[in-house]
């Protein structure tokens, strides 16, 4: 996957939902994600998932390592934090939310000129980076 042209960046929620609850993602967004071309995933999304798992908010049936092996598919390229991305987190609008994961993900999309696929209305409304927004509707068991 290295060197493949990445066009979209997956928000942590998008990546997790696609891996665990694909039915909550609208068909138009699922088509984008399911295309064969590479999608980016910020390395901080792995840390965010690990924290959610530790807090018991993921509900994984197996280990976190096993989940990562299954959810980081061959068309997902993990994008590392760079000095340019770290600096760009300080260029976010003053009213942008303080969550360091969201700030890093939005900055990554901006610096790498990627479209962020996200259910986060606040990121979309900030206008900081291009987004492919979809409203999140949790599934009911």
pLDDT in tens, 32-79: 999 989 999 999 999 999 999 999 999 998 999 999 999 999 999 999
Would you state the pLDDT for residue 140? 45
Eight-state DSSP code of residue 80:
P
* Cα–Cα distance for residue pair 70/55, rounded to 1 Å: 21
Residue 138 lies in a domain: no
Query: Are 11 and 117 spatial neighbours (Cβ–Cβ below 8 Å)?
Result: yes
| Selection from 137, 127, 102 nearest residue 29 by Cα | 137
- Global pTM reads 0.92
Question: Residue 2: inside a domain, yes or no?
Answer: no
- Residue-number span of the structural domain to which 70 is assigned: 8-133
74: in domain: yes
**The CATH number of the domain where 50 resides is what?**
3.40.50.1010
Number of domains in the chain: 1
The chain-wide mean pLDDT, for the chain, equals: 92
Looking from the CA of 28 toward its CB, the CA atoms found within 13 Å total 6
Q: Per the domain annotation, does 139 fall within a domain?
A: no
Tokens 């996957």 belong to 1
The reply to whether 3 falls in a domain is: no
């Amino acid at each position: 996957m290295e060197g493949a042209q990445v066009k979209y960046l997956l928000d942590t929620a998008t990546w997790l939902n696609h891996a665990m609850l694909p039915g909550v993602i609208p068909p138009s967004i699922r088509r984008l994600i399911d295309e064969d071309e590479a999608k980016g995933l910020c390395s901080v999304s792995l840390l965010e998932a690990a924290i959610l798992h530790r807090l018991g908010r993921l509900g994984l049936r197996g280990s976190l390592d096993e989940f990562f092996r299954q959810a980081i598919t061959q068309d997902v390229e993990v994008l590392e934090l760079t000095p340019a991305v770290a600096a760009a987190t300080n260029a976010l609008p003053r009213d942008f939310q303080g969550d360091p994961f969201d700030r890093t993900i939005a900055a990554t999309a901006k610096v790498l000129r990627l479209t962020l696929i996200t259910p986060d209305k606040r990121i979309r409304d900030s206008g900081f980076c291009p987004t492919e927004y979809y409203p999140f509707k949790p599934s009911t068991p």
